[in-house]
Structures are given as C-alpha cells and as structure tokens.
Amino acid sequence: MRILSFIFWVLLLVDVSPSGHVKTDKDSNRANIEQYSDMNVFVAVADGVETIIVMEGDSVTLTTNVTEIKSHDTVLWLFRDIIIAKMNKEAKMYNTSEEERFRDRLELDKQTGDLTIRNIRTEHTGQYQLKIKSTTETSKKFSVTVRDEVASVSLMEGDSVILQTDVTETQGGDQILWKFGGQGTLIASLNGTIDARWKNMIKLNDHTGDLTIRNIQTEHAGDYHLEINNSSTILHRKFHIAVSDLPQSSHWQTTGPVLAFIVVILSVIVIAICIGIKMGRVKVCLSCKKNGETDTDTDTMEPLNTDAHQQ
C-alpha cells in the first residue's frame, strides 16, 4: 500500500505533456526551434551548443566571447576531438592545423582567440570545441552545418521579387543582415541600415526580415547573402538572381506606338491624294511620264496650220 502511495505522489510531481513525454528544458526552447522549422534546421540550445549554419564558400568565425585573452592563457580549438588551432601569447604560439582539410583556411585572432574558417566546405560540418586553459578551464561547443544548395531565381528587367528568411517572427535580440555580391556588401539590416544606392528599390520587412527588390535591373543580378544571428544560432542562406533583358516582344511596347503614329500619318496623306485625284484637283498622266513628256493637258494644244506647210 505504501508503494502505491509513493507512486501516486511521484506522478503528481512530474509534469507530463499531453503527448505523453516528460517535459524537459528542451521544451522551453521549442519556440526557437519552430521559427527555423521551414529550413529543416534543428536548434539545440539545451546543452549549451551554439548552432551555426552556413553556405559553402562562406567564411565563419567561431567566437570565444572574450575581449582579450590573457598572456599566460592557452586557447585550444578542436574539431571532433582533434586539435586544429592552438594559441598562447606568452609563448608567441599561434598554430593552425596543416591537415589537408583545413590547410590555409584557418585564422586565429591574436587578441580574442576567435577562429575563422575561410571558404568553408561541406567536409567541415561537425562539432567544434573551444577550451581556454588558465587557473581554471572553460569550454564552449559549436555545431557547424555547411549547406551546398542555393535558391535560384530567374527574372526579367523591371520585375519585383521577395527573398524570404522563412522566419515567422523575429525576436528582440535577432540580427538580420542582407549582403550582395562577392565582396559581401551590406545593403540592408534589421536595425534600419540600408545602402543609399539601394534605398529606392529595396524594402525590409520588420517582422520577418524578408527582402523585397523592386524594378530589378541586370546590374542587380548576382548572389544575395542572408545572415540571421541570435543568442543561440547563426544562420546563413544564399540566393542567386539571374536578370534577363526584355524580349523583343516587350520592346514592341515602346516602339509600337511610334510606328503606329507613322502609319496613320502616311494613311492620311494617301487618302488626301486619292480624294484630290477624284475631285480633279490633282491630275496624273501616266502615259506622259512613260514618254518622258511634261504633264500638259493635250486639249489646250493648238492644231497645226496645214496651209502654212503647203505653201
């Protein structure tokens, strides 16, 4: 009887969700996970892992969140339990992995210890770990996913397009950046910053971060980069926009009215000539023109004086 009573009180103390599973700290992060669900992104924040999702060819920086590393501290960066970078100011040691996978791709910030991976590829997907060894040891984990797909859009000059973040609602601490071209020129951000050259043709949705481009031209063709950054996740997406010139049929829309006006004028002239001929105001002598003679009325010519010839 005491056992049954004990089980009863345990069931009352445990918070069970309607679906039957026991709620954990992960359930409190469900909203953060769902806002990226359309991108097939799972955000695991319960274990203190920072999730980073980037596109192939991008550069990504794994941060220590330290303003300045102390001279006697040792910073270690690991990829799948293998050391890929090591730093110690006192020993003037700034080493990065020479493994083929990471060769010439890694860069250490000598002040903060941040690790930058340039031109990242799908083979760099995995778990990264930071360890800072001092009198005590601190660590930080990162889950990096590298995508190779690019959303492509084909447009005609003058079209409009909306590049979507697939975020239902941005949070107060979210940072959304839109960049253009190979140089990654910032053209718009959620805090209201917009490149002056794009001001009259782009608009940023304050709630979702979606980017609208109006009256697009061929010079706006290229790659558009989206970066979403919040406390637990860094998400990168890439869009490629191709812009074609207007087809010949579209050029007719501008040249057509001009040609139509010319045709109308010529038609009026022809009709006026025809009316003049019919009313006798305009005379045409085809036989005279064929013989090279002047256009003269034969009825007005005087008859030859035959008597004068006989004399």
CB 195 within 8 A of CB 185: yes
Has residue 15 got a pLDDT over 70? no
Q: How confident is the model at residue 56, as a pLDDT?
A: 87
Amino acid at 72: H
pLDDT tens digits, residue range 80-90?
A: 999 999 999 99
Q: Do 143 and 189 have their domain in common?
A: no
Q: Using 50, 70 and 90 to split pLDDT, how confident is the model at 253?
A: low
Q: How confident is the model at residue 260, as a pLDDT?
A: 79
147, 170, 205 - which closes a domain: 147
The dihedral built from the CA positions of residue 291, 292, 293 and 294, taken in this order, carries a sign that is positive
User: Distance between CA 115 and CA 150 in Å, rounded?
Assistant: 25
- Asked if the structure places residue 39 within a domain, the reply is no
Q: How confident is the model at residue 291, as a pLDDT?
A: 52
pLDDT tens digits, residue range 29-60?
A: 333 333 333 333 333 343 578 999 888 888 89
98, 132, 147 - which closes a domain: 147
- Asked if the structure places residue 131 within a domain, the reply is yes
Q: How confident is the model at residue 251, as a pLDDT?
A: 52
Mean pLDDT of 155-165: 90
- Asked if the structure places residue 158 within a domain, the reply is yes
Q: Do 156 and 240 have their domain in common?
A: yes
- Asked if the structure places residue 4 within a domain, the reply is no
User: Distance between CA 233 and CA 41 in Å, rounded?
Assistant: 10
Q: How confident is the model at residue 242, as a pLDDT?
A: 93
- Asked if the structure places residue 199 within a domain, the reply is yes
The answer for residues whose C-beta is within 8 angstroms of residue 115's C-beta and 6 or more apart is: 61, 62, 77, 84, 85, 106, 107, 108, 109, 128, 130
- Asked if the structure places residue 297 within a domain, the reply is no
Q: How confident is the model at residue 182, as a pLDDT?
A: 81
Q: Do 158 and 238 have their domain in common?
A: yes
Q: What is the rounded average pLDDT for all residues in the chain?
A: 76
CATH of the domain at 83: 2.60.40.10
Q: Do 156 and 120 have their domain in common?
A: no
Alpha-carbon Rg of the chain, whole angstroms?
40
pLDDT tens digits, residue range 180-239?
A: 988 888 999 887 778 888 888 899 888 888 999 999 999 999 999 998 887 767 788 889
Look up residue 177 and give its DSSP letter: E
- Asked if the structure places residue 22 within a domain, the reply is no
Has residue 23 got a pLDDT over 60? no
Buried b (16+ CB within 10 A) or exposed e, 189-225: bbeeebeeebeeebbbbeebbbbebeebeeebbebbb
Mean pLDDT of 254-276: 79
The tally of domains found in the chain comes to 2
101, 120, 147 - which closes a domain: 147
- Asked if the structure places residue 223 within a domain, the reply is yes
* Containing structural domain, residue 206: 151-244
Q: What pTM was estimated for this model as a whole? A: 0.52
pLDDT tens digits, residue range 127-136?
A: 999 999 988 8
Look up residue 223 and give its DSSP letter: E
